[in-house]
Structure 1
Amino acid sequence: MTVGPVTVGPIAHGGHCVARYDGRVIFVRHALPGETVMITITDTGQPSYWRGDATVIIDPSPDRIDRACPISGPGGCGGCDFQHVAPAAQRRLKADVLAEQLHRLAGLDLHVPVEHVPVRSPSQDGQPVDGLGWRTRMRYLFDDHRQPGLRAHRSHRVITLPPQGCLIASPVISRPTGAPSDGELIGIDAADGVHWLSGEDREQITEHAVGRDWQVAGDGFWQVHPAAADLLATAVLDGLRPESGEKAFDLYCGVGLFSGALVDAGCRVIGVESSRDAVAAARRNLADAGSRARFHAARVDRALGAPRGRSALPGSTDLIVLDPPRSGAGKRVIEQVVRRRPRAIAYVACDPAALARDLGYLFRQAYQLTSLRAFDLFPMTHHLECVAVLQPSGG
């Protein structure tokens, strides 16, 4: 079913714009605010709203550009939902979404520009294309004909890669060669070279950031933008201003990136992470720090809330880094963090809604925002990364 013409409303969290047709809200992908479009409805399963794709552009926005990838539009791969948007306009839209979430969920009226993070881009027709060639980790699936592809939006359907491969991927992993027996292949452009891993492989790879080498499982977490690890660690240190001898918690610590940055700044760090494999890697990565870096495999909420005497975490600390998953830290973790009365908290967030919600909890616990930076670490998509720094109110 196609409806319209419809004039598209503002950008919303999640990579779509909000439109209204005959009194019904439609969340529209592949559109831009102010455009007049025809919308092909893709989901009517919710009584209060529909989902759709802008499939005919009647009156385009001046920020609209031609997509570089032939499978990035309606009905195609679900990854690049902003390929139809000029890169500078992508960053403005992300800043608008962040501002809206901060206002709605944290009561904060603040507009933070999303910072451009340069990366050497591949060329198209001899010209470099901003926002392409940055992704250093790719997970490829294979269709019934053993051709590599990526999932469609909100679907398990595999969209076959075009001949040029995935354009946001680092060029050396933009297209896999061969097909694994289990139908999945992970490509990694790491500091120690290119790796191709099937779902059965448990290979360790080496990354490099903040002056250290990091051992990471091939299927483990590491930032996918080549500049991200150094950039985020620097932003955390700049915000916290750690002093030699201070104590710190690194919560959701992964393989120890922020712990390493804090140790090298003279702190004593306790890291907590639910993945036992990641904790084992963190211990290896920071073995040279000795007792200045300790790690515990536990859920963060349980480690923070364990009874006195049994908790892995002391009752007070100077600094806390939070780098939770996309769902955020949540009220329980925030309450336990505040009980430690750190002089500064750095919150690293990949979801503006979860960040704004948790900032609201911190504001109600007498902490105030001292800085907030936003980075465009996922070009051609609606995602962004933020680093918020908070201190006790009046402190």
Structure 2
Amino acid sequence: GRVGDMQINPDGGKTMEKGGQKIIHTWDYKDRRTVWQTENAKRTGEILKHLKLGLGDTPPPNMPNSLNYDDIGDKVGNGSMKTAYTLKSHPDILFLKLNIKTATRVKNLENEVAWIDKMRELGIKTPEYYKTIVMTDQNQQQHHGILVEHIHDTKVVRPGLSTQIKNERITKRTLDDIQNLLSKFEQNPDLYIPDFQMLMGKDGQLYTFDPGSVSPPMDRPDSPAHQNMRESSIKGLRGLNEKVTIFLKEFNEKNRTHAIFVDEASLKKDPTLRERLISKAKKQQNLAIVSYNFEDALTDPTILYQPDNPQPIDRIEVMTDKGIRSPDQLDMFFLAQSMPSVSGDMIFRNRSVESFSNYRTNIIVQHGNSDTAIKAAQDLANKHPDNSIIV
């Protein structure tokens, strides 16, 4: 039983009022039990209704207006304030369930959303925040949350920890995003980003996410702590810029045989992909097409096409479709073991199928190694960064 009156809130939540506070009952999925916490009478639902989400982002089609427990997929991350779940029928959207139990947490949520909006206003790439929503669980308890863009198969990268940025994911987009961030710091002397971290997608793009939310955006920028934060971020970005530049230069300088490795799952999904890749290879003089299968460890990679009188393969781009695991350095080591045509100094990177721009590649021939020749070739490559290779 219970003592006191039960209030049914406008947002559908159930609350017991006592002394200017309210008791919020929620379901703990991990321990499978009901828990309760108190919060100041300012309702979470009312706060969420007035949050400014996004800067005119166009939400995906068929965006849900409400959720129930059956809509929720796998848990993909959690923190003190949010738990991230996939949605079964919306693979490109994440549901961030808010673990808000105190007035401080409500304020932190407001600050986080304000930081995301401020960064997007400045031209810093972040995942898109679409809308607030309520999810009803199997016990008819309601949970507030936010629907955000799901960037698949990401790795976390922090400036200052250059080892976190994996060579196999580096593309020209990576360099562009790092240089864009450096320019934003240069253009905005008050800019600092608390708990600065980024998601790195399979296509190399970097998305700043989950900023610290103790303070609102650009609060007290002259304080020693925030100045140190800013200087540390700039130093870390410069380190990433150097590492990415070195890798891209090395990748472009490889000039023997270039190979595209494509997983068999992608070939089965798109029956025309194989012939399109082979057709592309026939138009180039140094391109091989190879299929591989991670599901069957006993199956060696299959050469679908190779040029006449091929040279050793020293540069590989691995194509994978959305939702399919990309190979890492160890995977490529084992794949290459069964292929004597792969040189010992081979380097590789991953690319998503969709980023190949209809599988067309611009081959840019650099004449000589003078500064003028290098700059002219790079300027051309920069016009089509996702599908240009310098030879």
Common fold, TM-score beyond 0.5? no
Q: If the length of structure 2 is used for normalisation, what is the TM-score? A: 0.29
Larger Rg: 2
Q: If the length of structure 1 is used for normalisation, what is the TM-score? A: 0.29
Instruction: Name the one with the larger helix percent.
Output: 2
